[in-house]
Amino acid sequence: MIALTPGLTAQKGEPQPKQPPAARNQKAAPKLGQPGNVAQRLLQMSPEERERVLSRFPPERQAQIRQRLQKLDSLPKQQQDRAIERYQNFASLPPEKQDLVRRQIRAFNALPDDRRQMVGAAFQRLRRLPEDERQAILSRPAFKNRFSPEEQQIISDLSSNMPPPAR
């Protein structure tokens, strides 16, 4: 399997290969949400506290946050609790680790769908493992051949800094 995606290796001006029809019909790979977003923080507040905080934002941003908050509020309690737990885990990281996670989430979300799906699956598997097992897998030649150096870094950074939700 080729380790680098066409978008990462193509020179400027070169035509990109077209996706086969089957790939175009597949559902897009999910993207990661930024942990610690305002809506997740607001979810933990009383309605009065939410309104007080929201009033400090420009109207357009308020509308975006309210939409995200409504989406979170409509989730089942268990999913809301997981969102809050993700925020709390993220908030407990030092600022430089939070910046790293944000950058790597942006890099992950910028991957083509097929690569995002593969990288996401590897990330989800590795984040559940103890550090020593995770490092052993990350150093295997098969892993290094399957993912580009950039993808390896995304997987490594996210899996070591974003633990799985408690079950």
Copy the structure tokens of residue 59: 């109207």
- Taking only the tens place, the pLDDT of each residue in 67-81 is 888 888 888 988 888
pLDDT top residue among 164 and 50:
50
Judge whether 110 and 148 are in contact, CB under 8 Å: no
- The pTM of the full predicted model, rounded to 2 decimals, is 0.64
Q: How far apart are CA 7 and CA 23, in angstroms?
A: 16
pLDDT at 121 over 80: yes
112, 56, 45, 48: which is closest to 84 by C-alpha?
45
Give the span between the Cα atoms of 53 and 50, in whole angstroms.
5
The two structure tokens encoding residue 5: 């995606």
Sequence-distant (≥ 6) Cβ neighbours of residue 80 within 8 angstroms: 43, 72, 73
Q: Please give the Cα distance from 121 to 29 (Å, whole number).
A: 10
* pLDDT digit string, tens, across residues 29-53: 665 555 555 666 777 778 888 888 8
For residue 51, what are its two tokens? Answer: 């309104």
User: In degrees rounded to 5, what are phi and psi of residue 150?
Assistant: -65, -40
CB 8 within 8 A of CB 112: no
Query: Alpha-carbon torsion 88, 93, 95, 97, what sign?
Result: negative
pLDDT single digits (tens) 10-20: 333 434 444 44
